[in-house]
Amino acid sequence: DIVMTQTPLSSPVILGQSASISCRSSQSLGYSDADTDLSWLQQRPGQPPRLLIYRISKRFSGVPDRFSGSGAGTDFTLTISRVEAEDVGVYYCMHATQFPYTFGQGTKLQIK
Amino acid sequence: EVQLVESGGGLIQPGGSLRLSCVASGFIVSRKYMIWVRQVPGKGLEFVSVISNDGSTSYADSVKGRFTISRDNSENTLCLQMNSLRAEDTAVYYCASSVTTGGGFDYWGQGTLVTVSS
């Protein structure tokens, strides 16, 4: 099974500043954002997960352009620019490139 | 409008069985990849099972041989049959589907809580 490792596990950020979350996979997920199924999800307190980014860098409908994804191979990054209070929550990377799928451990974004 | 609604959770004794359902609207379940994901309160997301549009299935090692994912096409519903339940299966169970994104799971249900305890 592919292991997904996120860093950091906790990220205190000042409002208006940027935050970056890293996700590393134990084997390559691919190099093309046309067919590499690496996604990022946000989970606000008390809510189900919400898709932010899919295929490494594609923003899902309605997601603010403050959220961006990048990476290839085994290293991927979610960047949140101009952090707002509503961004507080836990962020997960997830791969769906082969069975079984797996999630990262989650990164808790907090306002400093 | 796309919607997923889970049901079937509850309190069950160790060794017992439960069947979770996820009723879908706004798309056809049999044409999409669908997953079950669980979350122990206060912990991270854990993949449980997936069924593809061609009926292929996969399970996490922790549930293999005990859980079965299936579809009821007549009811447009995703199901999860859970047997031989253990205390460590206690969690909120979410269903999700890849409806529009092809690889990203863009629609999620609100979850149903399963508590395994004597």
pLDDT-above-90 percentage for chain B: 97
Q: How confident is the model at residue B101 (pLDDT cuts 50, 70, 90)?
A: confident
Do the Cβ atoms of A78 and A66 come closer than 8 Å? no
Lowest mean pLDDT among A67-71, B48-52, B98-102: B98-102
A69 pLDDT higher than 80: yes
Examine the pLDDT at A64 and tell me if it is beyond 80: yes
Tell how far CA B99 is from the center of its chain.
Answer: 16
Give the integer Cα–Cα distance in Å for B81 and B63.
11
Between CA B63 and CA A38 the distance in angstroms is 24
Chain A positions in Cβ-Cβ contact with residue B96 (cut-off 8 Å)? 49
Q: Which residues of A touch B46 (CB under 8 A)?
A: 103
Q: Which residue has the tokens 């979610």?
A: A78
Whether residue A43 and residue B101 make contact (CB cut-off 8 A), yes or no, is no
Question: What is the largest distance, in Å, between two alpha-carbon atoms of chain A?
Answer: 39
If pLDDT is split at 50, 70 and 90, which confidence band does B102 have?
confident
Residues for chain B: how many in total?
118
Overall average pLDDT of the B70-74 stretch: 96
Q: Would you state the torsion angle of the CA atoms of residues B5, B9, B10, B12, taken in this order, to the nearest 10 degrees? A: 170
Smallest Cβ distance to B47: which of A39, A51, A102?
A102
- Alpha-carbon gap: B111 to the closest alpha carbon of chain A (Å): 7
What mean pLDDT comes out for the span B90-95? 98
For β-strands A89-95 and A38-43, DSSP reports them as antiparallel
From chain A residues 40-79, the ones with a CB under 8 A of any chain B CB are: 41, 43, 48-51, 53-55, 58, 60-61
